[in-house]
Amino acid sequence: MNWMNLQTLLTALLLLPMLLLPGAVLLTPRLSRPDIFFAITVQPSLRPSDAGRAILRQFRYAVILTSLFGLALALSGVLAGLTPALAVALILGGAAVEFGGMITAYARARRRVRPYQAAPSREREAVLKPRPARPVGGWLGQAGPFLILGVAALCLWWQWDAIPQRFPIHSDLYGRPNGWAMKSWHSVFGSVLLGTLCCLFLGLFMNCFARGVRRVHSSGPDGEKESRFLKTILWMLLGWRCKLWPLATTPRRPWLPSIGPATST
């Protein structure tokens, strides 16, 4: 097993989610409706009460502490200059501590909320008019990820003659190439196609989510809170679509000469 490649892969896949996910988890209880607390139907008065604040406070402490400890383990594996095998163990251990700690904290908070469970309201509201057709961010915002991918494809096409016959597609943490591909249309533009397909899938999901989710409240303060929650989720999805542009830049620095053996083995 090539521990160096595995260390690089785990760093790329896990480090960014480990940095961002705790913040999203801490915000989740505030984004839900007042009558939903840790996925349990409760009285809206529970959340601002002393009992509700105590449950939320202990949940936050547990998430913050386990996330910091897990990040410390993972970063020590990335930055401490240890052997690749030990670094992989620390990265995986840090991810397990952080993700496991968040799941445990959520389960404990949910168990503490369960005694306050209330019967869900049977009242439902409906708006007798079509939902707005304009998507989050407008049509220009929705087209943004595709424009980014289009610009990337245009740059690759413009620099086609400068791309060497054998170019690096992967490198280690020190910037040394350790993965190669031969020049062809599918090796150069395949990542653009992959990014486009991912953007199309997320766009379809966003459209289904915006039009098909069932609203409990359609007016008043509760309706406004639901609308803000839905818009927050849609903006997050749009942000993830815009993050797909690195998929379209496989031949990094195509104007540089190829490095490494002249022939593939």
Predicted pLDDT at 233: 77
- Give all strands (DSSP E) within 56-204, no chain letters: 166-171, 177-182
Q: Spell out the residues 6+ positions from residue 94 whose beta carbon is closer than 8 angstroms to its own.
A: 18, 69, 70, 71, 72, 73, 74, 75, 76, 77
Residue 37's beta-bridge partner residues? 40
**Can you read off the two tokens belonging to residue 83?**
């052997």
Collapsing DSSP to helix, strand or coil, 7 comes out as: helix
Predicted pLDDT at 173: 52
Taking only the tens of pLDDT, the chain with its 265 residues reads 466 666 676 776 777 788 888 888 888 887 777 788 888 888 888 888 999 999 999 999 999 999 999 999 888 887 777 777 788 888 889 899 999 999 999 999 999 999 998 887 676 666 666 666 667 777 777 787 888 888 888 888 888 888 888 877 666 555 677 667 788 887 778 778 877 887 788 777 777 767 666 666 666 676 677 777 777 777 777 777 766 555 544 444 443 333 333 343 3
Collapsing DSSP to helix, strand or coil, 218 comes out as: coil
Q: How far apart are CA 226 and CA 91, in angstroms?
A: 38
Left (φ > 0), alpha (ψ -120 to 50) or beta: where does 59 sit? alpha
Half-sphere exposure of 98 (CA within 13 A, CB side): 27
Collapsing DSSP to helix, strand or coil, 31 comes out as: helix
Which of 15-20's residues contact partners 24+ apart within 8 Å by CB, and which partners?
15/74, 15/78, 15/91, 18/67, 18/70, 18/71, 18/74, 18/94, 18/95, 18/98, 19/71
User: Pairing between strand 40-41 and 36-37?
Assistant: antiparallel
Predicted pLDDT at 261: 39
Rounded to whole angstroms, the maximal C-alpha distance in the chain is: 72
Predicted pLDDT at 88: 82
Residues in the chain: 265
pTM value?
Answer: 0.58
